[in-house]
Structure 1
Amino acid sequence: MGNSAQERSLPYVPDCYVVPPSCEPRDVLNSNSEIVPTIDISRLRSGDVERREVIQELSLACQQFGFFQMVNHGINQSILDGALVVAKAFFELPAKEKMKFMSNDVYAPVRYSTSLKDGLDKIQFWRIFLKHYAHPLDRWIHLWPQNPPQYREKMGKFCEEIRKLSLEIMGAITESLGLGKDYLSSRMDENGMQVMAVNCYPPCPEPATALGLPPHSDYSCITILLQNLAGLEILHSTDHSGAGHWVLVPEVKGVLKVHIGDHVEVLSNGLYKSVVHKASLNEEKTRISLASLHSLGMDEKMSVPNQLVNDENPPRYRESSFNDFLDFLVKSDISQGDRFIDTLRIKD
């Protein structure tokens, strides 16, 4: 730990970082720059007719992509820029300062590490990250880094604004499922989890041979992502067989990305799909991404609502919690294609 190839800026990619085609067949699924759904979130705050139109757009995006971009979300650009600046500054600190937070304990509320599980997985990934809990903020912020000096202030403000936006988006999602906009919002507001994954992908000398993160889906209800460079790719499934192609999500300043997570797939009984995504690398530039993951409380179970179940449409998923996901993470290897959502599906 603290001695990884990406941390040392090695001029070559060690063998343990080389992703074999059997794990990630990039010669079959070619990336492209298709247009992904973009939703004007300010229209959710308009009259009933316009709100219904936006919720329909959101519903289609959740069904077809499991992903959409948000414009006019209402968060000031200075707050977004400030969070990216302090994130980058943290990763530029001396190793001794970052090592204070070094941990492979996935249950730790604040931890610095590399790859997925530092040095433990069969394939390593060209990534450095700091993860920390962010809600309720006053419970966790004193555990965050004090260096750089403005980290707590600027990242804290970002987390607060993103969390308020997440509740609005979750209200629209539950409304789109016919459950009403308040179905989950009060539970997520009072006891919900917000986990920040502050990711750094340093320049990689051979970006075609390695990955920042392997194909995976997020355990959460939704993830809201801010990035400074393109590098996020989503898998757009074009048929029921699961076949599809990779879409490179373009980077536009100020635009936020929303990933549908495993728990919204459960909530919708499979109507909405958690998006499979990966992080590709840049040969010259460092990519920073701030992923804010939102879910119910640590031990609170997400299950298929009774309102979405009948004789023709039985429950297709078992209930689970954030803590169940952490248990899965300890014993599984995401680099080998293990997915939490697959453990929740009820076999016919």
Structure 2
Amino acid sequence: MGVPDEHPELFEGLTRVQHMVEKGVMDHVPESFIQPPHMRSAARSLDLDLQIPVIDMALLTRDSQGKKQVLADITRACEQYGFFQVINHGVPESLMDAAMAMAKKFFALSAEEKEVYKHQAASGAVGYGRIFEEYRKPDEVKEWLDRLTLDLSSARDPSQSWLVINNPPGFQEMYDEYGKAVYELHKKLLGIISEELGQAPDFLYSKLGGEKAFMRTMFNYYPPCPQPELVMGSAPHADACALTILQQQVPGLQLLHDGIWVPVPTSFDHAFVVNIGDSLQIISNGRFKSVLHRAVVHNTSRISIPNFLAPGVDILMQPAVEMCDPITNPPIYKGVTLSDFLKFVIAEGYGRSESRAVEHFRL
């Protein structure tokens, strides 16, 4: 039995997947969510966790050898995997628990209560709803998720100051504290990588514009699916930002490694998953790898909280002079702002396939 006839609007426009699941009695998914066979979760997948590096950041303060080990391990992970996990990272576990609890409370609100915060076209990407779907063609396959998108500081963009999440109570206060703590972790990780490159700790952060760099957080909700093998929570994509710091409790994240989709494990309590974005791949002149990844769904719900640190909107992403050599390692990417990069991604349909937008900007 599909969705009842009294809810025909669920199949039109920007469908809220959670609303569709909760209001409809479903034993199959709507056709608009069904992925072609080559894009489904079983295609070229391996049900074996990839042992991506786990970095114990407590070693940074133990002794000089411990710090040296952390610097080397993170740099190697950026070069070989594009992904790693961090533990003992300094973000309080209680704050991580509060973020996940508030996300669950938000998505437990009624449809009407959540729609109060729906995305407004004139206010950037923040708000409730799958913003990128608004730019896609009507016949493109939809993703099986709903999300709330926030920027850490609306002061950087006054057009976004309308969005204050006051339902559930305490959400905005939680995010202000959580966001600042994760932002500082971003800066710490960039500082570690910078030092391993032989540069000052603020080297990479300055390439993002310093204080102009901004952090965007997505609270992603993947509702239970009656046919999870047919849909995709988040289609294959690479992040346009510099670094992504992801909080998850339930497995679902997969990365493309040697042509095979493999799950990212959730075996470490209160760990963050960190991955390189296209911006850092460009700045590092290809030394650090941005990796394609996706989110699969299950017959139970899942919440993830990715935090993206991105260059300032007017900052030109280009290979750092310090990462290049005119003879042995010339620049391989042309400069582009994040705004123009994202416009290209949307216009060309990247972010929903295994093609890489960053390759378009090679010299």
**The residue matched to 1:208 in structure 2 has which SS?**
helix
**Identical pairs, percent:** 30
State which drifts further: 187-196 or 132-141.
132-141
Structure-1 separation of matches of 2:324 and 2:210:
26
Confirm whether residue 204 of structure 1 aligns to residue 216 of structure 2: no
Change beyond 3 A, Cα 1:188–1:76: farther
Pick from 272, 277, 289: which aligns with 2:304? 289
Q: Are the counterparts in 1 of residues 41 and 232 from structure 2 also a CA contact under 8 Å?
A: no
Shift of 1:88: 1.5
Pick from 100, 116, 122: which aligns with 1:84? 100
Structure-1 separation of matches of 2:174 and 2:147:
18
Structure-1 separation of matches of 2:153 and 2:60:
24
Match of 2:54 in 1: 38
Question: Residues 9-158 of structure 1: matches in 2 within 5 Å?
Answer: 9=21, 10=24, 11=26, 12-24=28-40, 26-103=42-119, 105=121, 108-114=124-130, 116-118=132-134, 120-121=136-137, 122-135=140-153, 143-158=163-178
Match of 1:176 in 2: 196
Structure-1 separation of matches of 2:176 and 2:215:
12
Match of 1:339 in 2: 356
Shift of 1:338: 4.8
Paired residues in the alignment total 339
Match for 1:305: what amino acid? A
Match for 1:300: what amino acid? I
Change beyond 3 A, Cα 1:16–1:104: farther
- Residues 209-237 of structure 1, C-alpha deviations (whole Å, 9 max, x = no match): 11100111100110000012111111113
Unpaired runs of 5+ in structure 1? 238-243
Match for 1:133: what amino acid? D
Q: Are the counterparts in 2 of residues 115 and 127 from structure 1 also a CA contact under 8 Å?
A: no
Unpaired runs of 5+ in structure 2? 1-12
Change beyond 3 A, Cα 1:325–1:146: farther
Q: Are the counterparts in 2 of residues 5 and 14 from structure 1 also a CA contact under 8 Å?
A: no
Structure-2 separation of matches of 1:137 and 1:229:
33
Shift of 1:5: 4.1
Match for 1:203: what amino acid? P
Q: Are the counterparts in 2 of residues 222 and 261 from structure 1 also a CA contact under 8 Å?
A: yes
Pick from 260, 276, 293: which aligns with 1:245? 260
Structure-1 separation of matches of 2:87 and 2:122:
33
- Residues 168-188 of structure 1, C-alpha deviations (whole Å, 9 max, x = no match): 001112222333322133565
Q: Are the counterparts in 1 of residues 237 and 353 from structure 2 also a CA contact under 8 Å?
A: no
Match of 1:240 in 2: none
Considering only CA atoms, is the larger Rg found in Structure 1 or Structure 2?
2
State which drifts further: 106-115 or 219-228.
106-115
Change beyond 3 A, Cα 1:73–1:106: farther
Match for 1:344: what amino acid? F
- Residues 290-310 of structure 1, C-alpha deviations (whole Å, 9 max, x = no match): 111002211111211112222
Q: Are the counterparts in 2 of residues 302 and 321 from structure 1 also a CA contact under 8 Å?
A: yes
Shift of 1:24: 4.8
Match for 2:281: what amino acid? E
Change beyond 3 A, Cα 1:37–1:106: farther
Structure-2 separation of matches of 1:14 and 1:65:
36
Shift of 1:248: 0.8
Match for 1:103: what amino acid? H
Pick from 13, 19, 24: which aligns with 1:7? 19
- Residues 91-141 of structure 1, C-alpha deviations (whole Å, 9 max, x = no match): 121212222332374961522213841594411110101112113679767
**The residue matched to 1:281 in structure 2 has which SS?**
coil
Q: Are the counterparts in 2 of residues 90 and 147 from structure 1 also a CA contact under 8 Å?
A: yes
Q: Are the counterparts in 2 of residues 224 and 259 from structure 1 also a CA contact under 8 Å?
A: yes
Structure-1 separation of matches of 2:289 and 2:234:
20
- Residues 233-288 of structure 1, C-alpha deviations (whole Å, 9 max, x = no match): 11113xxxxxx22221121320111011001111221111102110011112x211
**The residue matched to 1:184 in structure 2 has which SS?**
helix
Shift of 1:76: 1.3
**The residue matched to 1:314 in structure 2 has which SS?**
coil
Structure-1 separation of matches of 2:199 and 2:180:
26
Q: Are the counterparts in 1 of residues 17 and 145 from structure 2 also a CA contact under 8 Å?
A: no
Match of 1:215 in 2: 236
**The residue matched to 2:115 in structure 1 has which SS?**
helix
Q: RMSD of the alignment, in Å?
A: 2.4
